[in-house]
Copies of this chain bind each other. A is one copy, B any other.
Amino acid sequence: MKITCKKTEILNSVNIALKAVPAKSTMPILECIIIEVTDSTIKFITNDMELGIETVVNGLITTAGSVAINAKIFSDIIRKLPDSDVVIETDANYMTTISCEKSVFTIAGKSGEEFPALPKMEKNEPLILSQFSLKEIIRQTVFSISDNESNKIMTGELFEINGNEFKVVSLDGLRISIRKIFLKDEYKDTKVIVPGKTLNEISKILSGELENEVRIYFSERHILFEFDNTIVLSRLIEGEYYKINQMLSGDYETKLTINRKMFLECIDRATLLIKESEKKPIILAITESSMELRVNSSLGSMNEDMEIVKEGKNLLIGFNPKFFIEALRVIDDEEVTLYMTNPKAPCFIKNAEESYIYLILPVNLGVVR
């Protein structure tokens, strides 16, 4: 095998492929990147058995062939090479030389035979959306998946398609995040659970450009994302997702509108006084035209008045500040509207179109105040 590629081209492709390389694996071959060269294409392939990536590299092919190389060493070498043409060549024993200008590296590769091939997937009609939209939707929901592996379904996100509506949901037992967008076309109804890890890695690879599209294919057990020169294939999480519609009551007793950035900064300041171990809530005291935010902890106390526009009843309610911070950070609107019922019922942050809904459970103040 012998190829010649620009350093920047290889580096871009390696950075994409690295996203499916496990840090440590009981199968050492998974720590490798497969360089697969046919007469017409150079591909980098990686697979951590949950997630598989195949990305096409631009370059000149002298001889076809393939080799498995430790992904970390390969990427470290490429990164440090001068910005010039790189020649990668393997001999019959998979000894691989990487040359660039006057620098020559020689490392031992191995056969890619043992490497688990990515599952073949039949490509039906894909869901098409812009990379920008997909990246945004992931960013706006993925923070509220659970990292507790004992409940596998909570570690993923629901992708639900109904006609031309695409809905993404994540929840961790104390909060729910929902994002809805409308698609240009109508699609077959679909409901799958995508691993949060897959979405985190995908969103790092997506360029996020509005004009670049991503095509998403579904099969019974897999999801495939196709964009630019890359395909990312992931297992789905098996099982039935939670019925969330029954939790989304439209009733409220208190509705308030507040400047998002000022509210976020205020909670962020208050959080200084909260030690992780103490689990102190922030307390919102909602009166006629202002809301006082209060914190009391072993480190000290803080209070701050914020201007609000309010409808309905006054209310004293407590929350885990982290849940508010994470939701407020990903909302793009300048102002947000909160809907609450009583100190024990969830708070909803949502816009009029309900293109986003964040449900946050309160903390029982009877105990902590």
Docked CA distance A273–B74 (Å)? 11
A117 within 8 A of partner (CB): no
Within 8 A of B (CB), among A233-270: 265-266, 268-269
Q: Is the CB of A105 within 8 A of B302?
A: yes
**Quick one: given A76-B272, A77-B269, are A105 and B305 in contact (CB under 8 Å)?**
no
A77, A265, A269 — which one has the most chain B CB atoms within 10 A of its CB?
Answer: A269
| Any B CB within 8 A of the CB of A364 | no
Contacts of A107 in B (CB 8 A): 299-301
Q: Does A104 contact B (CB under 8 A)?
A: yes
How many residues belonging to A are interface residues under a CB distance threshold of 8 Å?
Answer: 27
Q: Chain B residues near A301: list those with CB within 8 A.
A: 105-107
Chain B nearest Cβ from A139, distance in angstroms:
24
Contact in complex: A104, B73 (CB < 8 Å): no
Asked if A49 CB lies within 8 Å of chain B CBs, one says no
A201 to chain B, nearest CB (A): 25
Q: Could you tell me which residues of chain A, from 81 to 135, have a CB within 8 Å of some CB in chain B?
A: 81-82, 102-108
Which of A104, A105, A272 has the largest count of B CB atoms less than 10 A from its CB?
A: A105
A338 beta carbon closer than 8 Å to chain B: no
- Closest Cβ of chain B to A268, distance in Å, is 6
Q: Is the C-beta of A337 less than 8 angstroms from some C-beta in chain B?
A: no
The listed residue (B106, B299, B306) touching A300 by CB distance below 8 A is B106
**Contact among B80, B82, B265, B273 with A272 in the assembled complex (CB-CB below 8 Å):** B80
Residue of B nearest to A266 (CB): B103
Which residues of the other chain, B, contact A76 by a CB distance below 8 angstroms?
A: 272
CB under 8 Å from chain B, chain A span 156-212 = none
Task: Determine if A302 and B106 form an interchain contact, defined as CB atoms under 8 angstroms apart.
Answer: yes
Q: How far is the CB of A356 from chain B (nearest CB, A)?
A: 26
Q: Are A108 and B304 in contact (CB under 8 A)?
A: no
Binding site for B on A (CB under 8 A): 73, 76-77, 80-82, 102-108, 265-266, 268-269, 272-273, 299-306
Q: Known pairs A76-B272, A103-B304, A108-B300; list 19 more (Cβ under 8 Å).
A: A73-B273, A73-B299, A77-B269, A80-B265, A80-B269, A80-B272, A81-B269, A102-B305, A103-B269, A103-B302, A104-B302, A104-B303, A104-B304, A105-B269, A105-B302, A106-B300, A106-B302, A107-B300, A107-B301
* 8 A–B contacts, CB within 8 A, in A order: A77-B272, A80-B268, A81-B269, A102-B304, A103-B302, A104-B302, A106-B301, A107-B301
